């Protein structure tokens, strides 16, 4: 009996000690001290981490904003500062710099002749890096002066300058009805830019010429020429094999079997066939565009060889797998291969190395 009484008293005391006025128990985020006051419960370490993360996010956000503002400022300056243009110099229509070429067909023809003369002069003065492009079909009525005496009076041209000039001319032609002159400007742009791999020029120029409303301007050989370059570009640079095949069957089916062989070898990663086609290609523009995919193909060769060989005949590799334009040492260094030349063999991997 005494035990039960003591137990009952203990329960009553516990009930009387509970916080009043809806105060939370010590298991909640607030707890009371002995004086009846409530103190806030915190996890100091958690608070510190949250604060640090918040600070990092704020700092990153500030940097992003500053970077965006800087880019916008540079863009505003680039478009707001119009260059001072001379009588024979023109600006870009897209930037609102100049509209003279839009308004005068005579100025457009004269400017095109100047571009062709500048390109021919570049070839004469840079014979070691000569760009073998035939622009003779674009020269009309002796409009291009190509003598060395006349060339000496001109400033030394550059390919970048010529490409920019062609861009100015193309932009001026967009608002006019396409004709033979339009085709010549765009086709010339394709031929010059493709041999140096300037896809920013040849891709939009080809797409313009292959539009349904412009294809009638092209001969069959011209259409095949530019469509082939676009097909190779889509496969080797953008790695869009589906689009490359679609373009092939739309423009080249039945007329260009070699390009289909290149596509088949590229898609199947048949490096033996692809390297053979690459090494035997004589069209400079096609070689340049195929070379855009060379690194990817070399990586695949390296992977396959490491799975298959410890050593490989140096002579056989040079004859069958080495891309043109490379010596074996230059090839290994350029693509950072961990192969070694060991006498008459290539050491692909050391024995015991399973990678």
Q: What is the pLDDT of residues 321-348, one digit of tens each?
A: 999 999 999 999 999 999 999 999 999 9
**Average pLDDT, stretch 259-269?**
98
What is the percent of the chain where pLDDT is above 70? 70
Dihedral sign for Cα 226, 229, 235, 237, please.
negative
Query: CA separation (Å) from 14 to 27, 340, 348?
Result: 16, 84, 82
Per-residue pLDDT tens over the stretch 59-103? 556 666 677 788 777 766 655 545 444 455 777 877 766 778 888
Q: What percent of the chain has pLDDT over 90?
A: 55
More confident residue, 157 or 285: 285
CA angle 128, 133, 135 (to 5 degrees): 130
DSSP 80-121: HSPPPP-TT----GGGTS--HHHH-HHHHHHHHHHHHHHHHH
Q: Tens of pLDDT along 119-164?
A: 888 888 876 665 777 777 787 655 555 544 454 555 667 889 999 9
Give the predicted TM-score (pTM) of the model: 0.72
3-state secondary structure of 346: strand
* Token couple for 181: 């002159």
* β-bridge partners, 39: 31
Tell me what pLDDT residue 62 has.
63
Are the CB atoms for 285 and 191 separated by under 8 Å? yes
* pLDDT tens digit sequence for 163-174: 999 999 999 999
């Amino acid at each position: 009996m005494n035990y039960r009484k003591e137990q009952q008293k203990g329960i009553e005391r516990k009930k009387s000690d509970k916080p009043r006025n809806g105060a939370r128990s010590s298991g909640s985020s607030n707890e009371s001290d002995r004086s009846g006051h409530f103190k806030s419960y915190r996890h100091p370490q958690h608070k510190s981490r949250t604060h640090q993360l918040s600070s990092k996010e704020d700092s990153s956000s500030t940097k992003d904003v500053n970077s965006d503002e800087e880019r916008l400022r540079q863009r505003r300056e680039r478009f707001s500062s119009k260059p001072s243009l001379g009588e024979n110099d023109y600006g870009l229509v897209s930037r609102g710099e100049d509209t003279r070429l839009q308004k005068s067909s005579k100025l457009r023809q004269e400017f095109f002749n100047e571009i062709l003369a500048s390109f021919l002069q570049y070839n004469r003065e840079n014979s070691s890096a000569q760009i073998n492009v035939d622009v003779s079909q674009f020269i009309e009525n002796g409009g291009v002066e190509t003598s060395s005496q006349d060339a000496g009076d001109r400033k030394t041209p550059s390919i970048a300058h010529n490409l920019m000039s062609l861009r100015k001319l193309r932009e001026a032609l967009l608002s006019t009805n396409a004709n033979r002159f339009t085709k010549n400007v765009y086709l010339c742009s394709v031929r010059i830019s493709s041999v140096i791999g300037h896809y920013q020029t040849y891709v939009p120029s080809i797409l313009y010429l292959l539009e349904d409303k412009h294809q009638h301007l092209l001969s069959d050989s011209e259409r095949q020429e530019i469509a082939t370059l676009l097909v190779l570009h889509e496969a080797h640079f953008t790695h869009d094999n589906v689009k490359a095949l679609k373009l092939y069957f739309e423009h080249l089916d039945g007329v260009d079997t070699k390009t289909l062989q290149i596509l088949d070898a590229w898609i199947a990663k048949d490096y033996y066939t692809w390297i053979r086609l690459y090494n035997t290609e004589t069209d400079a523009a096609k070689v340049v565009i195929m070379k855009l995919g060379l690194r990817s193909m070399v990586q695949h060769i390296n992977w396959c060889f490491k799975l298959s060989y410890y050593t490989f005949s140096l002579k056989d590799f040079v004859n069958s797998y080495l891309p043109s334009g490379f010596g074996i040492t230059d090839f290994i260094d350029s693509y950072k291969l961990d192969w070694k030349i060991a006498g008459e063999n290539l050491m692909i991997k050391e024995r015991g190395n399973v990678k």
